[in-house]
A = this chain, B = another copy of it.
Amino acid sequence: MKILEDRILKDGQVLGHDVLKVDNFLNHQVDPMLMQQMGEEFHRLFKDEKITKILTVESSGIAPAVFAGLAFKVPVVFARKHKSVTLKDELYTSVVYSYTKKVSNHISISKKFLNSDDRVLIIDDFLANGQAVQGLVDIIKQADADLAGIGIVIEKTFQKGRELIDKEGIHVESLARIKAFEDGKVIFMDEANTINANN
C-alpha cells in the first residue's frame, strides 16, 4: 500500500537492526485518516471471505481493526493482555511471548464473543516473530471458529512470523512488507517503492 510505505519512509524510525518505531501514526499517536484508508484496503483484500468478525489484541491493534470492522460492517473483538488469568471458565486464553518486551502475557477473550459460526479476520499492527498472531489463531481454534485470514499493517519479512503462518496455509496480506533495514533505512519487498529505487 503505497500511502503507508510513503508514511513509513517519512515518519518511521529504525532502531538497531530489527526495530521500526512508528509511534507517530500507528501505535501511540494515531492518524485516523490513514487508519480509515487501511481499513478499506483490508476490505478490498478480504472482501470475498464472508468475514463475520474481526479479532485483534489491545492496544495497538485496535485502531486498524475498528476501521477494518467499519469497512466490513462487522463487530471487532480485542483480546486483553493479562499477567495471569484467574477466571478461566468464561474465557478463551492463550500465552504470547513478546520478544521486544521479553515477557509472556496471557491474552484472552470472552467466550460469548466468538463461536463456531464465525469466520474471523485477524488484524494486527506488526508481524515480526508471529507470537501475537499465533495466540489469536490458538483462540480461534479453541472457539471452533473459522480463520478466514490475517491482515497485517507492517510485516518484517526477515523475522520468522510469516514463515510460521505460511506453514499453516493461512491467507495473509500485509499492507507494507519490509525486507530489511540497511544503514538505518527501510527497504520494502515491493522493489518499486524502496528508498533505493527512488534514488
Interface residues of A (CB under 8 A from B): 23-25, 28-33, 35-36, 58-59, 62-63, 66-67, 69-70, 73, 75-78, 80, 109-110, 112-113
- Find chain B residues with CB under 8 A from A63 CB: 62, 66, 76
Contact in complex: B31, A75 (CB < 8 Å):
yes
| Copies of this protein chain in the complex | 2
Cβ B113 vs Cβ A28 within 8 A:
yes
Please report the C-alpha to C-alpha distance between residue A184 and residue B113 in the assembled complex, in whole angstroms.
Answer: 23
Q: Apart from A29-B77, A30-B62, A63-B66, what 7 extra A-B contacts exist at CB < 8 Å?
A: A24-B113, A28-B80, A29-B76, A30-B75, A32-B66, A58-B59, A62-B66
On chain B, the residues within 8 Å of A76 by CB distance are 29-30, 32, 63
- The secondary structure that dominates the A interface is mixed
A59: which B residues are within 8 A, CB to CB?
A: 58-59, 62, 78, 80
Q: Which B residues lie within 8 Å of A78 (CB)?
A: 28, 30, 59
Q: What CA separation (Å) do A109 and B23 show in the bound complex?
A: 11
Q: Roughly how many angstroms separate A109 CA and B27 CA in the complex, as a whole number?
A: 11
Q: What residue in chain B is nearest A70 (Cβ atoms)?
A: B32
Given known contacts A59-B80, A62-B63, is B28 in contact with A70 (CB within 8 Å)? no
Provide the residues of chain B in CB contact with A23, threshold 8 Å. 110
- Least distance between A24 CB and chain B CB atoms (Å): 7
What's the least CB distance linking A139 to chain B, in Å? 13
